Each structure stands twice: as structure tokens, then as C-alpha cells.
Amino acid sequence: MRKCSQDQSASDTRTVVAKTIRDDRRLGLLTLLLSSRVWLHLGWRDLRIQYGRSRLGPLWSIATLSVSILGLVLAQGVLVGEINFSTAAPKLAVALWIWYFASSVINDSTLLFESERRSLLNSPIGETIFVAKLLWKHLIVFLLAAPVVILLLVLTEAFKPLALFAVILMMVVLSLSLVLPLLLLARTSMIWPDIRGVVAPSVQMLFFFSPIIWRPNPEIRISRLVVDFNPIAWVILSSQDALTASVSTTNFLPRILALVVLLIFASALLLPRLPSIKNRM
């Protein structure tokens, strides 16, 4: 039954690809957006395959985020001797919500072309399509976990729908700007597989250098330096400030906007000029 499902999924994919896209090794951001039907279909296909035997399916993201929040709140209670759920839970929820998206796309991009080797070699789908598919897949999971964040904000803070919409829009725009760096990471991991052994522990280390279980202290210089050079920290702190009415001494939005503009400009310049990795596979 599972094999039949996978065969049907592969057949559907070939149909969508045949109707939508030609062989295009020089796929830029504009062409990528015009080819959205392909990577939207592939993202949903991956989720159906990944959660094919699960009753909850992608809604496992809700359980994962909920358990992580509860565990970290309890851990903080053990460390400081007091559990302040109403204060800690909303900020942890926002931080973990964004962190799971960021860490997942980084880790999965190192295995992207290896897992899609057959499709890359035997189909006309461009490399950037697979990167867009990866980002779309994790954006779906990101959106499905939003009810946990909304519930905690409603219970413990004044819920601001417009702020939530702004945060989600920011994540979508950021995803578009991440196509080039994730493509380069996927290509590098395909050419030098040993890099995967470095990326995974680096992402784990980045967790502790991101303001998830702590906030920057102006009196601690190293704390400010870590935040200043960590784009994930900019997104987390900006989202926390918007959704939980936290007081911040630094406005990270100009930095995020500058980073997005820089990455999109680099994508427009470099994506059409990258040689195909198919010759290295």
C-alpha cells in the first residue's frame, strides 16, 4: 500500500512538472516564483510521505513545540527556584517557534540533494526548485504550530493579530531571501559530505548562542556581541518584542531589512550564473 502511494505521488509529480516547467539550470528568483506550482506540490508531497503512517501528520509540530515549552519552563524553574509560567511561556513559545524553523531548514538542506539525487539526475527540475520545496515544507510546519503560540499569547498576554500577521509575513519574506544561502549549503554538502558532520553540532551550539532561554543583558558585553552578530537573534527578539510587548533597547528591524535586501540582490545576481551541480553527482 505504501509503495503504491509513493508511486502515485511520483506520477503526480511528473505530471505537474511536465505541465509547468522546462529544464532550467539557470533558475532565478523570478522564475522560481513563476514555477510555484512545482515546489508547492513537492512540499505537500514530502509531508504526506514523511507523516504517511501518523494519525496527527504534520500536526506533530504542535506537540513538539508544546512539550519543548513545558520542558524549558520547568528547567528554568529548577534553575531559579521559581516557575513563572505566565511570563516565561509566551517568550519561549515565540523563540522556539522561530528556532525550529531555522534549525530545520539548515539541517535538512545539508541532505537535500543527496535525498533528491534521482530526481535531480532524471528530471528537468532545477536545483532551486528543491530548495524552495524545502522552505515551503517547513513553512507549512511553522504555520501549523502557530496555534500553540496564539493560545499562550491569548492566555498570558494581550493578543495582537496584526503583530502575528507581521511576524508570519516577515518569515515568508526571509524564506525567499534564504534560497541562495541554502542552495550554496546544499551544494557544498553534496560535493563535500563531511561538512554535514560540522553543520549539525554547529546548529546545536547556535541554540545556546541565540536568545531562546535568555535575553541580552546590556551590562554583559559578550551578551550584546553575540546578539549583534546572530541574525537568528534579530528575528527572535523582534518577534518577541512585537508579540509580547517586551521592552527592547535595540531595534533589529533595519538589520533584518538590510539582510533581506542584500540576500535578494545576491540571489538575483548569482543564481542564474551558478553551474549545474548535476555534473558533480
Phi then psi for 68, rounded to 5 degrees? -65, -45
Q: Which cell numbers hold the place of 281? A: 553527482
Calculate the average pLDDT of the chain.
Answer: 83
d(CA 31, CA 29): 6
Q: Which cell numbers hold the place of 144? A: 501549523
Is residue 20's pLDDT more than 50?
no
Q: Which cell numbers hold the place of 67? A: 512539550
Question: What percentage of the chain exceeds 90 in pLDDT?
Answer: 43
DSSP at 23: -
Q: pLDDT-based confidence at 71, cuts 50/70/90? A: confident
User: Residue 58: its pLDDT value, please?
Assistant: 66
- Mean pLDDT score, 188-212: 93
Q: Which residue has the higher pLDDT, 157 or 251?
A: 251
- Mean pLDDT score, 52-76: 77
Is residue 51's pLDDT more than 80?
no
3-state helix, strand, coil in the chain (%, to 5): 80, 0, 20
User: Residue 166: its pLDDT value, please?
Assistant: 94
Is residue 281's pLDDT more than 80?
no
Name residues whose C-beta falls within 8 Å of residue 90's C-beta, 6 or more positions apart in sequence: 149, 152, 153, 156, 157, 243, 244
Identify the CA nearest to 227 among candidates 259, 262, 252, 257.
Answer: 252
Q: pLDDT-based confidence at 275, cuts 50/70/90? A: confident
Q: pLDDT-based confidence at 180, cuts 50/70/90? A: very high
Q: CB–CB of 97/146 below 8 Å?
A: yes
Name residues whose C-beta falls within 8 Å of residue 135's C-beta, 6 or more positions apart in sequence: 105, 175, 178, 179, 182
- Mean pLDDT score, 29-42: 82
Is residue 69's pLDDT more than 90?
no
Residue spans of alpha helices (H) in 81-126: 85-109, 112-115, 117-122
pTM reported for the whole predicted model: 0.85
User: Residue 34: its pLDDT value, please?
Assistant: 77
Lowest-pLDDT choice from 112-126, 196-210, 243-257: 243-257
Lowest-pLDDT choice from 14-18, 91-95, 239-243: 14-18
Lowest-pLDDT choice from 5-14, 187-196, 218-227: 5-14
Residue spans of alpha helices (H) in 110-213: 112-115, 117-122, 127-144, 146-156, 161-177, 179-191, 196-208
Q: 3-state SS string over 51-66?
A: CCCCCCHHHHHHHHHH
* Range among 49-53, 184-188, 277-281 with highest mean pLDDT value: 184-188
Q: pLDDT-based confidence at 156, cuts 50/70/90? A: confident
Is residue 26's pLDDT more than 60?
no
Is residue 7's pLDDT more than 70?
no
Name residues whose C-beta falls within 8 Å of residue 262's C-beta, 6 or more positions apart in sequence: none
- Mean pLDDT score, 187-208: 93
User: Residue 171: its pLDDT value, please?
Assistant: 96
Give the number of other CB atoms < 10 A from CB of residue 88.
Answer: 20
Domain limits, the chain: 2-280
